Homo-oligomer: A and B are copies of this chain.
Amino acid sequence: MKYRNIPNETIRRLPIYMRALLFSKEQGRQSISSQDLSRFIGTNSAQIRKDFSYFGDFGTKGVGYNIDNLVKEIKKILKLDIDKRVALVGVGNLGSAVIAYPGFKMFGFDITAAFDIDPKKISRKIKNIVIENISKIPSLRDKEINLAIIAVPRQAAQEMTDALVKAGVTGILNFSPCYITVPKKVKVITIDIAMDLARLPYYVPAS
């Protein structure tokens, strides 16, 4: 048990483990070895054991890991043990897909607020969420929502970020294709789906 100097890569992998654990639970398993888990994911078993060892002794020697218990531990580490409400800014194509995405629930996320600048969209409902004008972003403070997803055009991304930070948001998942500046206490993770595609040709043989 160390809880110090945790590799970032370990944190990145924990949700992958969690997803695989929930999946193998669905299939009726109650416990799993690092070996078996590694096959679900495509890493090696030593990596998995090492990753968990940073946080405690979760397994049973000779047996493996109890799935329910391990999921609970991962949730605790990732601070997902309390369900989190999330705001969405930008209800375009990508934003709409994000709202509809079923995969958030397994991590305890619930998108409960949505903002857009387009008057035609405001007051419309999508998945039971009423789209509000971006001028209402400050209301996130009262609602105690401190996670947000940004899916707006590049030009608007920094402005929306500033508004979110001012409203008390401390974690941002950024789908806008640009780097955004935030205070040190705020964490941003940026996803640009085109950039991930862009490094694929490098790895594949011919044209």
Contacts and interface: CB of A to CB of B under 8 A. Distances in A.
A109 B171 CA distance: 31
A129 interface: no
A77 interface: yes
Q: Which of A20, A173, A199 has the most chain B CB atoms inside 10 A of its CB?
A: A199
A93 B193 CA distance: 15
A147 B201 contact: yes
Interface in A152-207: 154, 170-173, 177-179, 181, 185-187, 189, 191-207
Contacts of A205: 170, 185
A189 B196 contact: yes
Interface of A: 11-12, 14-16, 18-20, 23, 40-42, 77-80, 82, 84, 86, 93-94, 96-98, 100-101, 103-104, 106-107, 109, 144, 146-147, 149, 154, 170-173, 177-179, 181, 185-187, 189, 191-207
